Amino acid sequence: AQTVTQSQPEMSVQEAETVTLSCTYDTSESDYYLFWYKQPPSRQMILVIRQEAYKQQNATENRFSVNFQKAAKSFSLKISDSQLGDAAMYFCAYRSGYGSSNTGKLIFGQGTTLQVKP
Amino acid sequence: NAGVTQTPKFQVLKTGQSMTLQCAQDMNHEYMSWYRQDPGMGLRLIHYSVGAGITDQGEVPNGYNVSRSTTEDFPLRLLSAAPSQTSVYFCASRKGSGTEAFFGQGTRLTVV
């Protein structure tokens, strides 16, 4: 079975600085997707960034980028130029690829609460 | 475009009561899922469906029932509420060929 682990329950960053959130996962599959979701106090789950396992290039979305280390099964999220609006809980998630019977399921980590200090 | 709509947003139940959490999506998505969110545990899958008439259990299915009679709707039924079911519940949907899952705004359920 696949698992996702976020070992940092809480992180803080100064506004305008850079912070990295860690995520590790365990799987025996070769085809899968990895995601970072943001959950602000409104409770809405917002997709921040996604990475296809078959792509070697790290995904980037504006100030958000990932460091995808497939062999190490590591998927960290880097937030550059942190803004007050980035304060939220962040979840790392895994989903099997299309060849798997598990493809309907998202497996989430425990979450990391990010505080942004002005 | 409404996306994924969950009702109600908040609910308080007494132990032993039953209720149904509603979830509807208007994007013609094949996949629909229910998750519960508990502190320190992330979101855990309760039940999911890959299409109308097809459902399967997730990681924590006990005490919950689902059905999928239409593509649009995927209700979650609590048969006899217990305090352990106090949680925030999310419904999500995804197109079969798509990557991104779309989430409803969640239901905060308290069982007293």
pLDDT, one tens digit per residue, over B4-44 is 999 999 999 999 999 999 999 999 999 999 999 998 889 99
Return the percentage of chain B with pLDDT > 90, whole number. 89
Chain B contact residues (CB < 8 Å to A): 31, 33, 35, 40-45, 48-50, 56, 58, 88, 90, 92, 94, 99-101, 103, 105-106, 108
Please report the pLDDT score of residue A94 as a whole number. 95
Judge whether B37 and B85 are in contact, CB under 8 Å.
no
Q: Kindly state the average pLDDT of the residues B38-58.
A: 93
Q: Is A81 helix (H, G, I), strand (E, B) or coil?
A: coil
* A51-88 per-residue burial string, b: 16 or more CB within 10 A, e: under 16: bebeeeeebeeeebbbebeeeebebbbbbeebeeebbb
CB B43 to CB A44 under 8 A? no
Q: How confident is the model at residue B2 (pLDDT cuts 50, 70, 90)?
A: confident
| Segments of chain A with pLDDT less than 70 | 99-104
Nearest by CB to B33, which of A43, A52, A104?
Answer: A104
- Looking at A97-101, B27-31, B70-74, B91-95, which range is the least confident one? A97-101
Please report the pLDDT score of residue A8 as a whole number. 96
CB B42 to CB A111 under 8 A? yes
Whole-number Å distance between alpha carbons of A17 and A9? 20
Please report the pLDDT score of residue B28 as a whole number. 92
Please report the pLDDT score of residue A1 as a whole number. 84
Residues of B in contact with A89 (CB under 8 A): none
Whole-number Å distance between alpha carbons of A75 and B51? 31
Question: Which H helix or E strand runs over B104?
Answer: none
Closest residue, chain A, to B94 (C-alpha):
A104
Average pLDDT for chain B:
94
CB A4 to CB B42 under 8 A? yes
Judge whether A27 and A44 are in contact, CB under 8 Å.
no
Whole-number Å distance between alpha carbons of B93 and B99? 11
Return the percentage of chain B with pLDDT > 70, whole number. 97
CB A45 to CB B103 under 8 A? yes
Q: Kindly state the average pLDDT of the residues B56-71.
A: 95
Please report the pLDDT score of residue A68 as a whole number. 97
Identity at B46, one-letter amino acid code: I
Looking at residue A6, what DSSP letter applies? Answer: -
Q: Which sign does the torsion angle of CA B61, B36, A19, A59 carry?
A: positive
Judge whether B23 and B67 are in contact, CB under 8 Å.
no
Residues of B in contact with A109 (CB under 8 A): 42
Please report the pLDDT score of residue B40 as a whole number. 87
Residues of B in contact with A50 (CB under 8 A): 99-100
Identity at A29, one-letter amino acid code: E
Please report the pLDDT score of residue A101 as a whole number. 64
Residues of A in contact with B98 (CB under 8 A): none
Place of tokens 């320190």: B40
Closest residue, chain B, to A92 (C-alpha):
B42
Identity at A21, one-letter amino acid code: L
